[in-house]
Homo-oligomer: A and B are copies of this chain.
Amino acid sequence: MSRRVDEILSWYEGDDAQTLGNLRRILEQGRTGGTGKLVVLPVDQGFEHGPARSFAANPAGYDPRYHAQLALDAGCSAHALPLGAAQLVAPGFASELPLILKCNSSDSLYVGADPEPAVTAGVEDAVRLGCAAVGFTIYPGSAFRNRMYENLRSLATDAAYAGLPLVVWSYPRGSGVSEQGRTAVDVVAYAAHLACQLGAHIVKVKPPTEMVESPAARKALDKAGVPLGTLADRVRHVVQSAFDGHRIVIFSGGAAKETAAVLEENRQTALGGGSGTIMGRNSFQRPHDEAVQLLHDVMDIHIGTSARQPELATH
């Protein structure tokens, strides 16, 4: 058991032993185990975007067990997945690999003006399937945000009783934010803060751009002279917005992109004090060995820079 993990767990001392145990399990798992860094493999793209768009590029991925095995092979910290996949995967993998049961999802066969995911699983499923955590997506900026927050609250209450940590995907989207504002640095920082205030143990956001959506936030940031020029700077502001770095914040890359871009993004994230990454399509749509290599490279970036990360996020 590493000193860094103990330090991180000290931020959550209000939680019970079982929740802390599950959180420790994720932090001690795989190649980044014990460093305080995380690399998570999430596979809910079949639900969100459909099977062809998600798995045709690497058909082995039609079988949910492929992803669990990939996560194990690459030494990931955890694997996030919806209920149905978990039912197939859990019997063979839940004891070796921390599973994060994704408890809400949206599909693309109906797309409304404002996003509104369906609650598709709950804590009782996670317990039955031996999962290590539950995951939930919120869309701040959506007209339906309150329903999500209240569903999240209900999940959080159940999770607290069951000793399961809560992982929150916080993606601003909907009629309250502009298309480009979804990744504006103030919006991402706000999204991270909301997830923390709603009780998340681990927060997942998107890498922020230089855009500042809100004039009031712009004024406050300018007045305080907050540096936002590099991605590392912006990640630092986001991490700061997550209780001054006392919550685990990881970043995702979204759609598949070139390897170099992925690595650079992770370098900046690590430099800014991000706790790691959650990487789906960029890994599982590549051939198995190539995906493992990329995940290893990303993990090494996060581990390697962990000694150099700014003081802000390490106290």
Residues on A lying within 8 angstroms of B by beta carbon are: 11-15, 46-47, 49-53, 55-57, 59, 62-64, 82-88, 90-91, 105, 107-112, 116-122, 124-125, 128-129, 140-143, 145-146, 149-150, 153, 156-157, 160, 172, 174-177, 186-187, 189-191, 193-200, 214, 216-217, 220-221, 223-224, 226, 237, 240-241, 243-244, 246-247
A186 touches B50 (CB 8 A): yes
B46 touches A193 (CB 8 A): yes
Q: Is the interface of A mostly helix, strand, loop or mixed?
A: helix
Chain B: which residue is nearest A62 at the CB level? B244
A105 touches B197 (CB 8 A): yes
Known A116-B146, A125-B157, A172-B109: A197·B49 in contact at CB below 8 Å: no
Query: Which residues of B lie under 8 Å from residue A195 when comparing CB positions?
Result: 84
A109 touches B141 (CB 8 A): yes
Query: Which residues of B lie under 8 Å from residue A142 when comparing CB positions?
Result: 110
Known A107-B190, A107-B194: A220·B84 in contact at CB below 8 Å: no
Q: How far is the CB of A63 from chain B (nearest CB, A)?
A: 4
Interface pairs (17), CB distance under 8 Å: A13-B91, A46-B197, A49-B216, A50-B186, A50-B193, A50-B214, A50-B217, A51-B240, A52-B237, A53-B220, A56-B226, A84-B243, A84-B247, A107-B194, A110-B141, A110-B142, A119-B150
Q: How far is the CB of A66 from chain B (nearest CB, A)?
A: 8
A118 touches B62 (CB 8 A): no
Task: State in angstroms the CA–CA spacing of A175 and B160 once bound together.
Answer: 38
Query: Which residues of B lie under 8 Å from residue A49 when comparing CB positions?
Result: 216
Among candidates B85, B121, B240, residue contacting A243 with C-beta atoms closer than 8 Å: B85
A53 touches B12 (CB 8 A): no
